[in-house]
Structure 1
Amino acid sequence: MTELEQFAAPGSEWWRSAVIYQIYPRSFADASGDGIGDLPGVTSRLDSLQDLGIDAIWLSPFMTSPQKDAGYDVADYRDVDPLFGTLADFDTMLAAAHARGIRVIVDLVPNHSSDQHVWFQQALKAAPGSPERARYIFRDGKGENGEIPPNNWESVFGGGQWTRITEPDGTPGQWYLHIFDPSQPDFDWTNEEVREEFRGVLRFWLDRGVDGFRVDVAHGMIKADGLPDYTPPSESDSMGGGEDDVPYWGQEGVHDIYRDWHKVLAEYDGDRALCGEAWLPTLKKTALWVRPDEMHQTFNFPYMMTEWDAEKVRGVIRDSLEEFGKVGAPSTWVLSNHDVIRHASRLALTADSPQGDGIGPKSAGKPDEATGLARARAATTIMLALPGSSYLYQGEELGLPEAMEIPDEFRQDPTWFRTNGERYGRDGCRVPIPWEADAAAYGFNTTGDSWLPQPEEWSRFARDVEEADPASTLHMYKTLLGMRREFELGNGSLVWEDLGESAIAFRRGDVYVVANLGAEPLELGDDVTFITQSQRFDGTAVPTDHAAWYTKN
């Protein structure tokens, strides 16, 4: 390998180098004691996040919803679901975060609404061809009596993407499109009324003081003209990240929407940010979402889903910095979120587990816990040294593994039900996180209730236990985040080092970063001084699945 210097995109906006912590509200902290986390719970734990050293939080959906898909089915975009509190609770939480120097990003779900949204209820009562139905994607069926769906598209959650309604007069009627669950009808984003409605939604939350939006299914809002049939490959990624030319993913028209939204955010002071969830087949395509007049960030899913292989990890880092740099945007880096197997387990799987499938009691290829945690800590040590913005998912700072032994009767992910138990879905990464080892529900609340069962062995991952252990994953995260800020590693250039094919090695100014993904120890020589290590080791040889930052004497 030749030495190559790669730069993060220039600019002083906070989102270019921020470390953003994802909060899944129902599983973070529960102040009410009903077993489901809430906004007052978030407020109560902000000191812990400030102590961790993050720059911003991203809150997964908390808006009014029947909760068919954990809040990603929104019935009212301008209010807080009573499950999570009130608008006053949100304002209190926002003010408390800002007082601690923590910015707040909220999740926005524009591809679809809940079937309980007033617009969809109006559409069901209206006639075919009416303005009410034009807000969604209604079509006549095929066949002699319209009994065949308009096309063959498969839902991300299993089954078809079309559901037939009963018309107000009691007769079988039109079909409506839902990429996800039937309770989540897709909006028709060619309709100007839909576009104007969401401009209003953006302004509602911006007026309250939010710092930006994470945009759910940002690549799915426009469908190909004519809605042509499409059959995905048998081993397809459920969110379309592995295929080109999917008629409901990554269509060119989505970019006009984000150019419009970019203008709305520009009306407000303070570098408000848009971050897109766009599962796309290449980094080159992903970078199109963050051209200068569109979104500010998009999640780097190719990086997240890269297997534990030195050549592949080096390649995706190189390509990310190159492709995002071409459009003047920072790369983002992420290893876990609420939709994928936690990386403390995923990096040690010994069998394929496509995104969205999850892993459970009958799954093949379950990980070795020690191997998974070692690789997770090493992967984070690499990630937090990279230029750009990093996303953390709640609980990863504790080294939480995937909860793999959830009994069938407790599962709640729509994927589990829509596939008749063939795919476990995402419950395993959504279990409420542990705060205190000896408390009810591990300190998630004071009642002991929990909407998903917490594994008994999680007491050893509790935050209070890890606070007391200087070798814990929590202390590793705090150290890395503190040093990332001290050395200003979110900005600047990366210079690649050649330490062999099994190593990931680069320099950030005076800080050298190395991870050993090979089978043998990696000797660095006598002229190094370690700043931090993913796990403690002696001498100057980096063991397998370990990583370190160091300087040269």
Structure 2
Amino acid sequence: MSWWRDAVVYQIYVRSFADGDGDGIGDLAGVRERLPHLVELGVDAIWLTPFYPSPMADGGYDVADYCGVDPLFGDLDDFDALLAQAHDTGLRVLVDVVPNHTSDQHAWFAEALAAEPGSAERDRYLFREGRGDEPPNDWESIFGGPAWTRLPDGQWYLHLFAPEQPDLNWRNPQVRADFRKVLKFWLDRGVDGFRIDVAHGMIKHPDLPDTGLSEQISLLGKGELPYFDQDEVHEIYRDWRALFDSYSGGRIGVAEAWASTQERLARYVRPDELHQAFNFALLEAPWSAEEFGKVVTESLATTAQVGATTTWVLGNHDVQRPVTRYGDSELGLSRARAAALLSFALPGSVYVHQGEELGLREVLDLPDEVRQDPIWTRSGGTDVGRDGCRVPLPWSGDEPPFGFGPGGSWLPAPGEWASSTVEAQRATPGSVLRLYRSALALRRELAVLGDGELSWLDAPEQVLAFAREPGFACATNFGETSVSLDLPGDLLLRSDGAEIWTGELPPSTTVWLVEGKK
């Protein structure tokens, strides 16, 4: 079976994972030093967020050179050493590729600015004439405000994100050819695949029509927009799939794609396109047996239609951490533990955002002066943005920065994290870290888990229960009171850390049972 169909992939937000050189910013050397934690955790692969040369207008998602390493994070030798060590320990490595837009500091954009309107250089991007003093259309930036910026010569350029991130014109054959070279550069170095940023956004409707809508971002993943999920985008991924398949070792593409329906999302993982697409539906589901069950049923059904696997996601560097999303208290922590154990038992692949294995909460009280997310600045301070889930990881010790590196950290960690460090949780029975390690070890050990099918079991309204044949059952209590369950099997693992099973499932708890336990 292909490795990626049931892989557990750990997302490393490089600047916040581990600092190897003491400048307060995570780097590739820091990642390399901390690989033993990930081997011990039991994941199969890591995904590295962008580490390329960048002005850092958007945390590195504004790329100035797709084939290099920003000095903040090291150099290509550091990357090669990290890749080699990861492979030596059995970990595969995915890197982020950002094809929808470049940095405004990229050489291609500099050439476009220096060239005349209508030139080949400008055709790499989406330059248009305005409507008088107004932009070419009413499209809005994901980060707030209009999606167009005007140049002194009167033309406007499109940026669905920050003005420092001009959108590329993927109808231009040269853009497609250049990105094939970028992919080959990293594939030739030995990377195992790519997480594709804004995979749904590269093709825009050719007429660039008005939407007639305000607050367009609210439609992301829920409605149709002329700049997202256009049918022609799939031509690009058919070409990329052929390239991936020309390399040995199972190289993959993973789409960060938002679509209006599960059926449209499944199109990204048809047999001749990408291998995985993030399933954000579970991440967005409210804490409810009915809602979680609906997402699981629809997700499995739609990916099965195209022969793909489903990819479960509870968090990432762009969304509020699960503990806070589910309650930001002991209740939120209990629910996050239960949701993790539930997701690990589902058919398919799972992505873990760094810090989830420690039960970290969103840091909601960062001082204004340290925030760096462009959402914060472009909203005039009305939207706190995503910095709260990007606070550097706590590794050891009693005081910030908790072993993150020899110096400080680019965002301050809360003092209460002393009990949440890797070091502290390794030594604490029942900790979140120990739960994750136990669950991932069992997932690797039991052939019944990972890829495959599930069957729903009869259970009370507030409980979601399913079987994986032969002989495995998972049940989660989404309610506020304990429930008696009559399920076969002996206790394998509980999200609340208890080690006995009497048939009574407490609220906000998941239990794994197995028949014929060794």
Map 1:485-496 to 2 at 5 A. 485-488=444-447, 489-496=449-456
| Alpha-carbon offset, residue 42 of structure 1 | 0.3
- The answer as to whether partners of 1:115 and 1:184 remain within 8 angstroms in 2 is yes
CA contact (8 A) 1:344 1:372 kept: yes
Greater Cα offset, 191-200 or 532-541: 532-541
- 2:374 matched to 1:394? no
2:295 aligned partner, one-letter code: V
Any conservation in 2 of the 1:334–1:390 contact (CA below 8 Å)?
Answer: yes
Moved more, 535-544 or 45-54: 535-544
Q: Give 1:152's match in structure 2, choosing from 134, 138, 146.
A: 138
1:61 equivalent to 2:42? Answer: no
Write out per-residue CA displacement over residues 446-504 of structure 1, whole angstroms, 9 at most, x where no aligned residue: 22x11111111111110000000121000000000011111121122211101121111
Contact 1:282 1:302 in 2 (8 A): no
- Do residues 377 (structure 1) and 337 (structure 2) align? yes
Q: Which residue of 2 aligns with 1:240?
A: 220
5+ residue gaps, structure 1, are: 1-11, 168-172, 349-366
Shift of 1:345: 0.9
Q: How many matched pairs?
A: 512
Q: Which residue pairs with 1:532 in the alignment? A: 493
Distance, in Å, in 2 between the alignment partners of 1:66 and 1:502 is 49
The answer to whether the 8 Å contact 2:65/2:106 transfers is yes
Give the structure 2 partner of residue 131 of structure 1: 120
Residue 466 in structure 1 maps to residue 446 in structure 2:
no
Matched, 1:547 2:507: no
Contact 1:213 1:273 (C-alpha < 8 Å) held by counterparts: yes
**Is 1:109 the counterpart of 2:109 in the alignment?**
no
Within the alignment, does 1:121 sit opposite 2:110 as a pair? Answer: yes
CA distance in 2, matches of 1:326, 1:527: 31
How has the CA–CA distance of structure 1 residues 527 and 495 changed in structure 2, closer, same or farther, with 3 Å as cutoff? closer
5 Å-filtered alignment, 1:213-228, equals: 213-228=194-209
* Structure 1 residue identity aligned to 2:414: P
Q: Could you say if the C-alpha distance between residues 45 and 248 of structure 1 is closer, same or farther in structure 2, counting changes exceeding 3 Å?
A: same
Separation of aligned partners in 1, 2:477 and 2:399 = 38
Any unmatched runs of 5+ in structure 2?
none
Maintained 8 Å contact 2:400/2:415 = no
User: What is the CA distance between 1:525 and its match in structure 2?
Assistant: 4.1
1:511 equivalent in structure 2: 472
Question: Which residue is equivalent to 1:501?
Answer: 461
Question: TM-score scaled by structure 2?
Answer: 0.97
- Across the aligned residues of Structure 1 and Structure 2, the Cα RMSD in angstroms comes to 1.3
Aligned residues of 1:211 and 1:270 also touching (Cα < 8 A): yes
Q: Distance in 2 between matches of 1:237 and 1:165?
A: 25
Q: Work out the CA distance in 1 between the residues paired with 2:351 and 2:514.
A: 26
1:94 corresponds to: 83
Q: Give me the whole-angstrom Cα distance separating, in 2, the residues matched to 1:195 and 1:434.
A: 41
Q: State the distance in 2 between where 1:93 and 1:166 align.
A: 44
2:345 match: secondary structure: coil
2: CA distance, partners of 1:463 / 1:229: 50
**Cα distance, 1:233 vs structure 2:** 5.8
Secondary structure in 1 matching 2:66? strand
- How is 1:96-495 mapped onto 2 (pairs within 5 angstroms)? 96-143=85-132, 147-167=133-153, 173-232=154-213, 234=215, 237=217, 240-243=220-223, 245-348=224-327, 367=328, 369-438=329-398, 441-447=401-407, 449-488=408-447, 489-495=449-455
Distance, in Å, in 2 between the alignment partners of 1:419 and 1:334 is 27
1:9-88 to structure 2, matched below 5 A, reads 12-88=1-77
Structure 2: distance between partners of 1:303 and 1:34: 37
Q: CA separation in 2, counterparts of 1:389 and 1:237?
A: 28
The answer as to whether partners of 1:437 and 1:460 remain within 8 angstroms in 2 is: no
Deviation per CA, 1:70-95: give whole Å up to 9, x if none: 00000000000111000000000000
Counterpart residue identity of residue 156, structure 2: W
* 1:342-373 residue CA offsets vs partner (Å, 9 max, x unmatched): 0111122xxxxxxxxxxxxxxxxxx3x10110
Contact 1:156/1:238 (<8 A) preserved: no
TM-aligned CA distance change 1:177 to 1:29, over 3 Å: same
Aligned AA (2:355): G
CA contact (8 A) 1:19 1:391 kept: yes
Which deviations, in whole Å up to 9, do the C-alpha atoms of 1:224-283 show, x marking residues without a partner?
Answer: 12101114465x54571121x200110111000101111111110011000000012221
* Deviation of the 1:528 alpha carbon: 4.2
Mapped to 1, the partners of 2:195 and 2:65 lie a distance apart of 17
Question: 2:400 touches 2:413 (CA, 8 Å); kept in 1?
Answer: no
Partners in 2 of 1:315 and 1:511 — Cα distance?
21
Shift of 1:540: 2.3
Contact (CA 8 Å) 1:162, 1:182: kept in 2 or not? yes
How far did 1:440 drift? Answer: 5.3
Aligned to 1:490, the other structure's residue is in SS state coil
Per the alignment, in what secondary structure is the counterpart of residue 10 of structure 2? strand
**2:402 aligns to what SS in structure 1?**
helix
The amino acid that maps onto 1:511 is F
Contact conserved, 1:439 with 1:446, CA < 8 A, in 2? no
TM superposition score normalised by structure 1: 0.91
CA gap 1:440/1:372 in 2 versus in 1, 3 angstroms: closer
Does the Cα contact within 8 Å between 1:440 and 1:446 map onto a contact in 2?
no
SS at match of 1:498: coil
SS at match of 2:68: strand
Offset, 1:416? 0.6
In 1: Cα distance, 2:96 partner to 2:219 partner: 18
- AA of the residue aligned to 2:141: S
Q: How many angstroms does 1:529 deviate by?
A: 1.9
2: CA distance, partners of 1:189 / 1:526? 53
Distance 1:312 1:103 in 2: 33
**Cα distance in structure 2, aligned partners of 1:202 and 1:35:** 30
Cα distance in 2, alignment partners of residues 232 and 479 from structure 1? 48
Partner SS state of residue 79, structure 1: coil
